[in-house]
Structure 1
Amino acid sequence: MDALTTRAPKQDRSRATRRKLLEAAVSCLAERGWSGSTVSAVAERAGVTRGAAQHHFPTREDLFTAAIEHVAEEWLDAVRERARALPRDGESRTRAVVDMLVGVYTGPLFRAALHLWVAAADEEQLRPRVNALEARIGREAHRLAVEFLDADESVEGVRESVQATLDMARGLGLANLLSDDSARRAGIVRQWSRILDTVIHARPEQPPGS
């Protein structure tokens, strides 16, 4: 067996261990918050040793920022895949896109990320990483929302309305943290989708006499 053949299984195992740690970190953060999410707790949940965890992620900050980034990338890939099944156009598509965005902010990824953001307010060494990560994910979420809504941001009010959709989704996610807010949320999503659709598909005013 040559060195290349031997190396491949080791690399596969290393990648598998890294993935287990990242997924365990997100679920741990979502359930226990920052104070309860130690490297040891994540390693135990992932079924690996603390030493193995620290081999991949030397610091706690490395582990949890990488975990949120990893799951966010997976979410973006899943959203792109789900977008293929969206209605072609019209208000039904707008509603489906808003539903999809709100679903992200009411899921475990948002809950985990929220704990990380709150921790960053007090943890000086964590703050720059979280700020950079939040900015990058925010830009990509906005870009995908514009793409899926087929929105023309050169039209007055459209960019602000798309951003308001993301801000609303984040707010609904916060409201859902303490109790099941699904009934109220469904009515808000339905009404906002109607409003957003009229903004995105508004016809330009015709000049008098045209």
Structure 2
Amino acid sequence: MPTASTRVPQQERSRATQARLLEATVDCLVEYGWSGTTTTVVAARAGVSRGAQLHHYPTKAALVTAAVAHLADRRAAELRTEAEALPAGPQRLDRVVDLLGVAFTGPLFVAALELWVAARTDAELRRALVPLEARVGREMHRLTVALLGVDERRPGVREAVQATLDLLRGLGVANLLNDDSARRTALLHTWKRQLAALLTPDAGPAERAMPAGAGLERDRQ
């Protein structure tokens, strides 16, 4: 029977195995797409046995949704950390939008898009993905509100934040097949100006100069 001293290393090894599987899954989705990401391929890439993979994630749907959830949580934490170094004042909005834009062009977005398309015709995947997508969407919205330091109780603010996320998602899709950076830059430049007006139409200088991270602190409370 395992003792207390042996259970901890076993738990650590189990967590390490899961982490390798989740990272390998995202890598495979980006490199091979949904159809090429088999559980056998993932296990081989992660360097774990098929038995270990099946023990932690018995189905492909369970594996890929867990991988996207894992990466989404990690990326949200990274965004919070990166945002702490952003300047206060008018420049903050521009930098926040740029940070979010990177999130909609990175590996997480590509992997998630593979799942969205596959879930249209895969009932098992759709059942697993719909609640995950709803959770990730809510958390991304709350994170954006916090990073911008805006008050969603004000009319129009919630819609402006969601429009920003929808725009970035669409631009991310447009960027998948070819380099769309020139059009993307021009569109975001215009949207940043419009967003600033939508979020702070009656704000004075003191409100516009909200300290960097103020929204983050409120969101943590």
TM band (smaller chain): over 0.9
Distance 1:98 1:24 in 2: 29
**Could you say what the CA RMSD is over the residues aligned between the two structures, in angstroms?**
1.3
Instruction: Report how many aligned residue pairs link the two structures.
Output: 202
Quote how far apart the aligned CAs of 1:110 are.
0.3
Q: Which residue of 1 aligns with 2:212?
A: none
Which amino acid is the alignment partner of residue 190 of structure 1? Answer: H
Distance 2:181 2:76 in 1: 23
Which amino acid is the alignment partner of residue 101 of structure 1? Answer: L
Q: Which residue of 2 aligns with 1:11?
A: 11
Distance 2:32 2:23 in 1: 14
Which amino acid is the alignment partner of residue 53 of structure 1? Answer: Q
Q: Give the TM-score of the pair, scaled to structure 2.
A: 0.88
| Matched position secondary structure for 1:126 | helix
State how 1:88-107 maps to structure 2 within 5 Å.
Answer: 88-90=88-90, 92-107=91-106
State how 1:38-77 maps to structure 2 within 5 Å.
Answer: 38-77=38-77
Quote how far apart the aligned CAs of 1:147 are.
1.3
Q: Which residue of 2 aligns with 1:78?
A: 78
Which amino acid is the alignment partner of residue 33 of structure 1? Answer: G
184-193 vs 34-43, which moves further: 184-193
Q: Which residue of 2 aligns with 1:116?
A: 115
177-186 vs 134-143, which moves further: 177-186
Q: Report sequence identity in percent.
A: 53
State how 1:127-206 maps to structure 2 within 5 Å.
Answer: 127-203=126-202
Quote how far apart the aligned CAs of 1:167 are.
0.2
Distance 2:89 2:147 in 1: 10
Quote how far apart the aligned CAs of 1:154 are.
2.6
Q: Give the TM-score of the pair, scaled to structure 1.
A: 0.92
Distance 1:13 1:153 in 2: 43
Structure 1 stretches of 4+ with a deviation exceeding 3 A read: none
Which amino acid is the alignment partner of residue 153 of structure 1? Answer: E
Distance 2:178 2:98 in 1: 19
Quote how far apart the aligned CAs of 1:156 are.
2.5
Q: Which residue of 2 aligns with 1:207?
A: none
**Cα deviation digits, residues 67-112 of structure 1 (max 9, x gap):** 000000001111111110111122x111011111111011110000
Q: Would the aligned equivalents of 2:38 and 2:60 in 1 still touch at CA under 8 Å?
A: yes
Task: Could you tell me which runs of 5 or more consecutive residues in structure 1 were left unpaired when the two chains were aligned.
Answer: 205-210
Distance 1:27 1:184 in 2: 28
Distance 2:32 2:67 in 1: 15
Quote how far apart the aligned CAs of 1:49 are.
1.4
Q: Would the aligned equivalents of 2:61 and 2:125 in 1 still touch at CA under 8 Å?
A: yes
